[in-house]
Structure 1
């Protein structure tokens, strides 16, 4: 273990326990001011049966993503019916894009929970619907590093490919990751806290977690990439979040018997020009990628019916 991998015992508020950032109708409300950065935001909206909520987009673009249940999103004279899903462990979901400077009405007849992934941006793109069957699904890694990535608003991968870039945003990058029980994801540890053209992009990131089954839990690690940088070792459960302004993040570890879900929301100055997601692997652990071609993908994946599939190693 290197010095950068040893945990100092203080997370400086970067680990947000479920309920600790609740505000009004939101069970989680993290914006740039709360996080101490400039771009990325995430809210989790809880609506009772027949409930509705008005979202004032302000200077940010937003994606309404059902976590459980469905809803109707009224914005810019359009109405988008989101069928949603029973839970994040049951299916890929459809979603809706809300542009900056818009007012959106979110209504749910049966009630549900909805993630609002946001990013401060400059361009005002049109309001749009994202169909579930068009969400690219990636099976990343092999062996006990196998995980499923739902690339509903991913950045186009370096060198092209099908695993992202299919849904246009200005700065927002967002994906879902599902890790079968006992597996490691966000591994090898990687970072994107500096701008190096063609090699690394500067992005602020939020991890929002849910765990499957009663008593489910996982672990998440962020180790410093610079003196005094982000240092987190957290046991995570449904509703928890980890903020990553900098640092090597990973692994995210799913406890055996409990699938671990996380929603990644990213944005930053490096996302405005092509929304690049360029990462640098931890130099002590990047070698693990070289072992993946010799191992099969975990047979439990994909976890459910998916859209276009691609495997990346």
Structure 2
């Protein structure tokens, strides 16, 4: 059985060469469908990687890059950091060989999921990413839906998005789960693994920020109990269970990249709220959105 500590991977836990983080599906006990790689490139450097058995979305975290795949080179304009804005994203299909290079250097996330069908390469521009303000009051967050169901569907199983939570706010709240298949048309649920990759905004003085992540058991057959401090570069794996809330410490905005996939042939994101917390959804409208967040 995988130890509880194996679900929180602090920055530096899985590294190799230019790869700051390596989580591949099928290479960890109990982890089957999703993956994440964080690539750090020095100015003028490049890295070649093949999507063996997986499809991939390349997401610049900071800096711009070019990605050569299937004989074509794509320019991803990138951004200063994850808190600035949405970014250009590139989708590449299972089996594709990617050569990623950066003139000025930067860090780039590769979100992956097990796939069988080859889909066309697709460049999604930042201005075309649907941006959603979700929640209300201190539960407000911004969701950038570049790879969610209904936003981009020309892929097998991968679901991905970014979330910005202002300092002092809570997100992934109410806590929710998606760890079993429920075909009830009134309350469906999809079985999905999920990865949370975190970056936390530093203080004005440069000292590092922090936040908290929680995952708890959703049944006797799904034991898990995590309440952990997260910092920039940390990853938390959610194989099952109620996940959330994620809390951003006051003064430190929180970013996380979500990567999801599961065993079902249909790519879907259906969740079940924690029954003790679902009532908070009814408070969002009266509270109104946090004015620190905007749609662009």
TM exceeds 0.5? yes
TM-fit CA distance, 1:63: 0.6
Which residue number corresponds to residue 203 of structure 1? 192
The one of 71, 81, 84 equivalent to 2:75 is: 81
TM-fit CA distance, 1:280: 0.1
Which residue number corresponds to residue 272 of structure 2? 280
Which residue number corresponds to residue 170 of structure 2? 184
* TM-score, length of structure 2 as denominator length: 0.93
Structure 1's 35 and 204: CA in aligned 2 closer, same or farther, altered over 3 A? farther
Is the 2:43–2:104 contact (alpha carbons within 8 Å) kept by the matching residues of 1? Answer: yes
Distance 1:63 1:240 in 2: 19
Is the 1:153–1:169 contact (alpha carbons within 8 Å) kept by the matching residues of 2? Answer: no
The one of 25, 29, 39 equivalent to 1:45 is: 39
Q: Does residue 178 of structure 2 align to residue 173 of structure 1? A: no
TM-fit CA distance, 1:104: 1.0
TM-fit CA distance, 1:167: 4.7
Q: Does residue 59 of structure 2 align to residue 70 of structure 1? A: no
Matched position secondary structure for 1:229: coil
Question: Which runs of 5 or more residues in structure 1 are unaligned?
Answer: 1-9, 157-164, 307-313
TM-fit CA distance, 1:230: 2.0
Is the 2:167–2:251 contact (alpha carbons within 8 Å) kept by the matching residues of 1? Answer: yes
- Would you say how many aligned residue pairs link Structure 1 and Structure 2? 285
The one of 289, 293, 306 equivalent to 2:285 is: 293
TM-fit CA distance, 1:148: 0.2
Is the 1:40–1:119 contact (alpha carbons within 8 Å) kept by the matching residues of 2? Answer: yes
Q: Does residue 100 of structure 2 align to residue 111 of structure 1? A: no
Q: Does residue 4 of structure 2 align to residue 18 of structure 1? A: no
Matched position secondary structure for 2:127: helix
The one of 201, 210, 232 equivalent to 1:238 is: 232
The one of 17, 23, 29 equivalent to 1:30 is: 23
Q: Does residue 110 of structure 2 align to residue 124 of structure 1? A: no
Is the 1:138–1:148 contact (alpha carbons within 8 Å) kept by the matching residues of 2? Answer: yes
TM-fit CA distance, 1:12: 3.9
Question: Which runs of 5 or more residues in structure 2 are unaligned?
Answer: none
Q: Deviations over 1:68-105 (max 9, x none)?
A: 00100000111100010010011110011111111111
* TM-score, length of structure 1 as denominator length: 0.89
Q: Does residue 56 of structure 2 align to residue 58 of structure 1? A: no
Relative to structure 2, which stretch is displaced further, 16-25 or 73-82? 16-25
Is the 2:214–2:246 contact (alpha carbons within 8 Å) kept by the matching residues of 1? Answer: yes
Distance 1:215 1:110 in 2: 24
Matched position secondary structure for 1:269: coil
Matched position secondary structure for 1:34: coil
Distance 2:254 2:29 in 1: 24
The list of structure 1 runs, each at least 4 consecutive aligned residues, that deviate by more than 6 angstroms after superposition, is none
Q: Deviations over 1:231-289 (max 9, x none)?
A: 1111000000100000000000000011000000000113x31x210000001111111
Distance 1:56 1:35 in 2: 23
Is the 2:169–2:247 contact (alpha carbons within 8 Å) kept by the matching residues of 1? Answer: yes
Distance 2:260 2:29 in 1: 13
RMSD: 1.2
Structure 1's 221 and 148: CA in aligned 2 closer, same or farther, altered over 3 A? same
